[in-house]
Amino acid sequence: MSASAAAEQIDALLPQTQCTRCGYAGCAPYAAAIAADQADIDRCPPGGAATIEALALLLGREVKPLDPQCGAEGPARVAFIDESRCIGCAKCLAPCPVDAIVGAAKYLHTVLSERCTGCDLCIAPCPVDCIEMRPAPAGRRANDAALNRARFAAHARRLARRAEERRRGIAAHKAAAPRPPALRMTGP
């Protein structure tokens, strides 16, 4: 099997929260590293023991405990925004891999808890520390990897589209800016 086909099969077993706790930029890079024998199968806290077992079965390796340096397996959590303290800076929007936060600049933001994977990536960017992780509501469906993957893909497309729009806007602005008069060399 080629490395890219192996990486795809491995990625299909990962929870797709894109939390980076494995030490990689997301699930797909971690899968690629496992496929290339550059990472072990014990690095995904959201997947925990079940993911390690599935990876061991797929790759014919021994089951091992989660690497504690990556974090611990725990109950599902979701982010909660204290709206009385939110200043509407929108700094939490782009980091959320599954677009679970809604809001716009200068407006209060809130978390769609049924979308939230508990990845924690919105916590650090908030300048007023008004986001905290809370236990997921009772009866909430477990993380759905296929949905997370589709939402992450949509999120990545949206960010790429915005970046392209920004690039074009800057280029158009530069093209429309008045040019300084050409310098003329004058003799002595």
Q: Strand 77-81 and strand 131-135: pairing? A: antiparallel
Q: Are 73 and 49 in contact (CB under 8 A)?
A: yes
Nearer to ligand SF4, 114 or 164 (CB): 114
List 7, 10, 13, 14, residue binding ligand SF4 (CB under 6 A): 14
Please, what is the minimum distance in Å from the beta carbon of residue 157 to ligand SF4?
17
- 105 SS3 class: coil
Q: Are 68 and 31 in contact (CB under 8 A)?
A: no
Nearer to ligand SF4, 119 or 167 (CB): 119
Stretch that binds ligand SF4, among 33-41, 56-64, 123-131, 158-166 (CB under 6 A): 123-131
* 44, two tokens: 């995904």
Nearest to 154 by CA among 120, 104, 115: 115
* 24, two tokens: 């990689």
Nearer to ligand SF4, 95 or 147 (CB): 95
Nearer to ligand SF4, 94 or 166 (CB): 94
Buried b (16+ CB within 10 A) or exposed e, 109-123: bebebebbbbbbbbe
Q: In whole angstroms, what is the distance from residue 169 CA to residue 12 CA? A: 38
List 17, 32, 35, 52, residue binding ligand SF4 (CB under 6 A): 17
Contact string 78-117 vs ligand SF4 (x = CB under 6 A): -x-x----xxxxxxx--xx-x-xx-x-----x-x----xx
Tell me the number of residues near ligand SF4 by CB under 6 A: 45
| Dihedral Cα 43, 47, 49, 53, nearest 10 deg | -90
Nearer to ligand SF4, 22 or 35 (CB): 22
List 7, 10, 13, 15, residue binding ligand SF4 (CB under 6 A): 15
Q: In whole angstroms, what is the distance from residue 66 CA to residue 138 CA? A: 26
Q: Which residues bind ligand SF4 (CB under 6 A)?
A: 14-15, 17-22, 24, 26-27, 30, 44-47, 79, 81, 86-92, 95-96, 98, 100-101, 103, 109, 111, 116-122, 125-126, 128, 130-131
